Amino acid sequence: MHHFIKETDFTLQQAQEVFSLARKFKANRLNSPQPLNMQSWGLLFYKSSTRTRISFEVGVNELGGFPIVLNSQSTQIGRGETIADTAKVMSRYLHGLVIRTFGHEIMEGFAADATIPVINGLTDFNHPCQLYTDIFTVLERISPEEMDINTLKGKKVAFFGDCASNMANSWITTAAMFGMEITLAGPEKFAPKQVITDALKADGLPVEFKFTTDPAEAAGGADILYTDVWVSMGDEDEAAERKAQMLPYQVTSELMALAHKDALFMHCLPAHAGEEVSQEVLDSPQSIIFDEAENRLHAQKAIMAELVGLNA
């Protein structure tokens, strides 16, 4: 069974197919093929969600399928049913399953026992659907007709804030996968962890990412400046400490000025103006945050369609 648990679960050729397909879905949203016709897909949430839930629910519907939204507390998972048993039961009813959860081992547990494709809607380790969306959004700017992933090679990404977060891990993996340069800037305590280096090596990808505590060094010459919330779900107890330590890494107009003149500002949302990014940057012409938000729909439709084709 072919799942989409991490960015490298698609080959470069398959990733290219996803981006090309997403472009077609976006250009012809309500008159496109329906590869999920007569299928039912489960959307299982351990965490609250806005973009993931809406984009997948609408996406399954637009591909001809029927979405069933579930959460861990309203199912027998909340009363202790094992992941293995739950995955086997769901596989008897559903044709695919999207999960948004905490520990990455939960996602891997579902994938190990499911006989239907499982899509990672976010874990504490990574967020591959967001990264495929981000890359699709970048390709719209630099290769709008061909969506050619080769145009990504050599582009510099600067990531600011919590550099050990799921978004940072996904950007590190994605940059290595597509030949992009990436420099992450944040407090030493929040530097990338060994686990992401191990993951790169396991996938045969180069370990070339850079980390610095100097935000200006990361921003210099960057083509993409990216940040995420400083306090993710589950980190609320550390909120005051995180905000204090990460304040120097707020993406401001001054930081943007150090980047390439056509640099893009990106954020997976929700954003907290005055914390990880200034309101001025959020509102600037260089900000493409709402294109990213919209593109969750088109990119995830393409991911589902690709999986259906691979598992046919």
User: What amino acid positions are annotated as catalytic residues?
Assistant: 100, 127, 130, 228, 268, 296
Establish whether 31 is an annotated binding residue. no
Establish whether 92 is an annotated binding residue. no
Residue 244 CB-half CA count within 13 A: 4
Residues 6+ apart with CB under 8 A from 128: 4, 5, 6, 7, 9, 120, 170
Q: Report the C-alpha gap between 144 and 139 in whole angstroms.
A: 6
Establish whether 8 is an annotated binding residue. no
Please state whether 274 falls in left (phi above 0), alpha (psi between -120 and 50) or beta: left
Under 8 Å between Cβ of 168 and 143:
no
Establish whether 100 is an annotated binding residue. yes
Establish whether 128 is an annotated binding residue. yes
Under 8 Å between Cβ of 277 and 271:
yes
Establish whether 76 is an annotated binding residue. yes
Under 8 Å between Cβ of 307 and 280:
no
Establish whether 268 is an annotated binding residue. yes
Establish whether 233 is an annotated binding residue. yes
Establish whether 250 is an annotated binding residue. no
Could you list the residues known to form a binding site for carbamoyl phosphate, using ranges.
49-52, 76, 100, 127-130, 268-269, 296
Per the annotation, binding residues are 49-52, 76, 100, 127-130, 166, 228, 232-233, 268-269, 296
Annotated binding residues for L-ornithine, written as ranges, equal: 166, 228, 232-233
